[in-house]
């Protein structure tokens, strides 16, 4: 009997993914102070390429050098010459060559942080409206974009996609999820505009649709274009699952090759399996909360309206869970993130039948397993320390892989939390020099 995980997938554009496993996008933080790719990207992505996944998606590559998701982002911004000159492009080519060494696909995720850019990185974030991200005082009030700026950014996304193709990446993914700029336009909570870019869903989705259309036109019909979309923001009054279904129907006519389904944002980080402020959260069914894959229930409804292939990311840890998801028809590709930070060869080992379960260190990364200091704490500060501490732990392991060193599975979460903040603050200071 053939292995469903090993089956190739032909995309609408004609490109073929070698199997159904994807290393999903994870922010790397490995760029230099001029926002360029480095040798650390090459080492990390070569390890992932040789790790067996049919598709690798990069972390955020930013289209605006002034508004970063975090220090260490790679940016491609024609308004910032060091990010697009000959040296920057040579570094992108080296990254792409390393990341496709084993013959897999490597797609560049193109993104704009919008209002989710920390104070120590961006003094003036931007968004659809001036709705501030209220998260421990770490984010400044955004300035609402003018229409001419929105149109310029549509063009910018397309320019970056062309550079991705020219430098050897085999596809692009437009990041329309997790509360970043395109995602924030979709939400009634953060988009309070009264012009053609706000109000009804069709207007709130206009920015995303214009970007996707421009990217497709710029790269041609034979180059994979993906979109990452929230199944739900999980915020009261925010981008809902019904809104998601409406946007999917709008995207059906845009020539999308793969729609990745995720969910949540900085205020409600469901993508990490965590709930943010309780008074702001949309409750989900108990059966959904205990599922191995966080967003698979939502993908089932999306499957009924989507005409493009789907990928679900978040929570997959067992072969049985992955095979069941593929057999259901609710997803075509399995997105995996954190296990690749500790074991870059998990896809190869799954496909070879060496393992049936992926490492899940996240279950031990917390201040306390239960109570007021746990990830389920009623205190937002405690929740965020747990979330950021776990993130910091995985960032540390990723950086060790990028340096060609073994991981440190016994490293403590609190120490990782401190190092994460210190590294980002140090890198932010280097950006300002």
For residue 313, name the pLDDT band (cuts at 50, 70, 90). Answer: very high
DSSP assignment of 153-190, as one string? HHHHHHHHHHHHHHTT-SEEEEEE-TTSHHHHHH-TTT
Of 194-208, 343-357, 419-433, the range with the lowest mean pLDDT is 419-433
In the predicted structure, residue 290 carries a pLDDT above the cut 60: no
Nearby residues of 373 by Cβ (< 8 Å), 6 or more positions away: 366, 367, 382, 386
172 to each of 28, 153, 161, 281, 294, how far by Cα in Å?
17, 16, 6, 32, 24
The backbone region for 176, taken as left when phi is positive above 0, alpha when psi lies in -120 to 50, beta otherwise, is alpha
The helix (run of H) or strand (run of E) holding residue 380 is helix 380-402
pLDDT digits (tens, 9 = 90+) for 178-208: 999 999 999 999 999 999 999 999 999 999 9
Percent of the chain with pLDDT over 90: 74
Summary mean pLDDT of the chain: 90
Give backbone dihedrals phi and psi of 111, rounded to 5 degrees, phi first. Answer: -155, 160
Which residues on adjacent β-strands are paired with residue 22?
55, 335
pLDDT digits (tens, 9 = 90+) for 95-148: 999 999 999 999 999 999 999 999 999 989 999 999 998 877 789 999 999 999
Of 22-26, 238-242, 252-256, 416-420, the range with the lowest mean pLDDT is 416-420
Dist CA 210 CA 168 (whole Å): 25
| Res 390: pLDDT | 84
Dist CA 91 CA 97 (whole Å): 10
| Res 190: pLDDT | 96
Dist CA 413 CA 392 (whole Å): 8
Dist CA 421 CA 281 (whole Å): 26
pLDDT digits (tens, 9 = 90+) for 253-285: 999 999 999 887 666 654 545 444 444 444 444
Domains parsed from the chain with CATH numbers: 4-358 (3.20.20.70)
In the predicted structure, residue 20 carries a pLDDT above the cut 70: yes
Average pLDDT over residues 82-106: 98
Total-model pTM: 0.92
In the predicted structure, residue 291 carries a pLDDT above the cut 60: no
């Amino acid at each position: 009997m053939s292995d469903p995980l090993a089956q190739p997938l032909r995309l609408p554009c004609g490109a073929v993914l070698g199997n159904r496993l994807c290393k999903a996008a994870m922010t790397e933080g490995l760029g230099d102070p001029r926002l360029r790719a480095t040798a650390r990207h090459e080492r990390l992505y070569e390890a992932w390429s040789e790790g067996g996944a049919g598709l690798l998606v990069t972390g955020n590559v930013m289209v605006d050098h002034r508004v970063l998701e975090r220090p260490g982002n790679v940016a491609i911004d024609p308004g910032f010459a060091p990010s697009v000159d000959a040296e920057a492009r040579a570094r992108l080519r080296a990254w792409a060559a390393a990341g496709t060494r084993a013959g897999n696909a490597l797609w560049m995720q193109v993104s704009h942080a919008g209002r989710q850019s920390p104070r120590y990185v961006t003094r003036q974030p931007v968004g659809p409206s001036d709705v501030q991200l209220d998260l421990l005082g770490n984010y400044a009030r955004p300035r609402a974009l003018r229409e001419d700026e929105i149109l310029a950014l549509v063009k910018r996304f397309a320019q970056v996609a062309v550079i991705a193709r020219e430098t050897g990446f085999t596809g692009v993914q437009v990041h329309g999820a997790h509360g970043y700029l395109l995602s924030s336009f979709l939400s009634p909570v953060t988009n309070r505009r009264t012009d053609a870019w706000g109000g009804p869903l069709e207007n709130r989705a206009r920015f995303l649709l214009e970007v996707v259309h421009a990217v497709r036109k710029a790269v041609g019909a034979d180059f994979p274009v993906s979109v990452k979309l929230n199944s739900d923001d999980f915020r009261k009054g925010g981008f809902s699952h019904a809104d998601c279904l409406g946007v999917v129907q709008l995207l059906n006519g845009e020539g999308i090759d793969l729609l990745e389904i995720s969910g949540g944002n900085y205020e409600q980080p469901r993508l990490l399996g965590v709930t943010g402020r309780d008074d702001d959260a949309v409750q989900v069914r108990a059966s959904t909360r205990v599922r191995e894959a966080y967003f698979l229930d939502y993908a089932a409804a999306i499957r009924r309206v989507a005409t493009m292939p789907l990928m679900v990311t978040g929570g997959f840890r067992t072969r049985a869970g992955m095979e069941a998801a593929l057999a259901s028809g609710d997803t075509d590709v399995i997105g995996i993130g954190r296990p690749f930070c500790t074991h870059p060869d998990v896809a190869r080992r799954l496909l070879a039948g060496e393992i049936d379960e992926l490492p899940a260190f996240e279950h031990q990364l917390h201040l306390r397993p239960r109570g007021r200091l746990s990830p389920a704490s009623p205190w937002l500060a405690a929740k965020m320390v747990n979330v950021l501490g776990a993130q910091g732990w995985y960032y540390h392991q990723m950086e060790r892989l990028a340096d060609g060193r073994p991981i440190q599975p016994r490293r403590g979460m609190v120490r990782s939390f401190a190092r994460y903040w210190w590294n980002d603050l140090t890198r932010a200071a280097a950006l300002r020099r």
